[in-house]
Copies of this chain bind each other. A is one copy, B any other.
């Protein structure tokens, strides 16, 4: 972990905020989302709490920030209630940037002067990856917030990513046997990617590309949202109680589908990868298509052989891009564009041990009633993703850039 790397990531967060009005920073559109200002402060709190505070003589920036910007670390103390994060009009945006400055200066100094133990350096590295997770959340939470406004304001003026009609989906076949998955020794990984371990895997087919808008339209046109037999029982409850008739951010206007994007409303492009679907919708779509979602081990086996390149946040499109029109026999777009729902509940790998101390609350305690997504999205920083990376969300969540890649038994 170098000073440069630290600065680069911290600055990237702030660059994402450049298009915002002060008014956009503080509002929380639902309990699952947080205000941008809170993300800015919380990521800073992470470094202050886990790197600076344990150091003798450190005087906290503000005595109440420990509580206000604690997300869920009960070992640190009782956090400020999540659904009320949007009520904190103070500290102001300027105050929060000042908080960032002060903490950054300390951390940069410590790195520069090699004053950090290797354990502390590892926490800084964790904090940098943590910051990257919140970069993605800033974008998805903002997208949700802006979508609640009948003015449908754009986060930023943006050109649509280039697009041409996609080739039909094909299947890559992968043989069965005992495989190893999970993070191997070198490079950073979260605790939930470890330990590397063996699994037995039957032969399977994996789709060459994600499901597109156009394919989802066919599902809708075939009454997909009105046929309970296609849905998990709990999914059907969501359809009925939430009144789902299409993916999140789809709106019908003048007989045509439009979608809300970070650039405002756009006419739906059938070639683009579908996103903003829940696990329930992904599962129902797969059942309708005569296929299934990949298990996370299958996905990782396939992805391990590929390079982690793609349409990430750095592309500046903030939107998934249509697959290459060239017919492919290998899997395209495994990384970037859209997170891909796996069929797998988020559980501990055999032999999993959470990090010791408060940081053990980072991942392990959420291993219940969530599903694994893989591969990153157009809102993910490219240096953040890898084949073993496990993202996770509840089955009804739709506000992430979450899409579908099909699998099948062979």
Contacts and interface: CB of A to CB of B under 8 A. Distances in A.
Nearest to A72: B233
Contacts of A80: 150
A72 B231 CA distance: 13
A200 interface: yes
A232 to B, nearest CB: 5
Interface string A1-42: 000000000000000000001111111010000000100000
Contacts of A283: 368
A233 B149 contact: no
Interface string A86-98: 1111111100000
Contacts of A89: 21, 23-24, 27, 145-146, 149, 153
A151 B64 contact: yes
A120 interface: no
What's the number of copies of this chain in the assembled complex? Answer: 4
Given A88-B149, A150-B68, A200 B198 contact: yes
A178 interface: yes
Contacts of A27: 26-27, 86-87, 89
A335 interface: no
Contact of A395 (B148, B229, B368): B368
Interface in A218-267: 228-229, 231-236
B351 A234 contact: no
Contact of A366 (B72, B86, B92, B233): B233
A366 B232 contact: yes
A290 to B, nearest CB: 12
Interface stretch (A128-136, A305-313, A315-323, A342-350): A342-350
A202 B350 CA distance: 7
A369 B234 contact: yes
Contacts of A279: 368
Interface in A54-112: 64, 67-68, 72, 74-75, 80, 84, 86-93
Contact of A200 (B88, B149, B200): B200
A113 interface: no
A93 B368 contact: no
B365 A87 contact: no
Given A21-B90, A86-B86, A151-B90, A368 B202 contact: no
Name the interface size band of chain A: 35 or more
A122 interface: no
A37 B229 CA distance: 28
A233 B347 CA distance: 13
Interface string A160-190: 0000000000000000001000000000000
Nearest to A364: B232
A347 B344 contact: yes
Nearest to A345: B345
A352 to B, nearest CB: 9
A199 interface: yes
Given A24-B90, A232-B367, A295-B350, 4 more contacts: A22-B23, A24-B89, A233-B365, A234-B368
22 contacts: A23-B90, A26-B27, A27-B87, A64-B150, A64-B151, A68-B150, A86-B86, A88-B151, A89-B145, A89-B146, A89-B153, A91-B151, A197-B202, A200-B200, A202-B351, A231-B365, A232-B365, A236-B365, A280-B368, A283-B368, A345-B347, A351-B409
- Top 7 nearest A-B pairs by Cβ distance? A345-B345, A74-B228, A200-B200, A23-B89, A22-B22, A233-B365, A87-B148
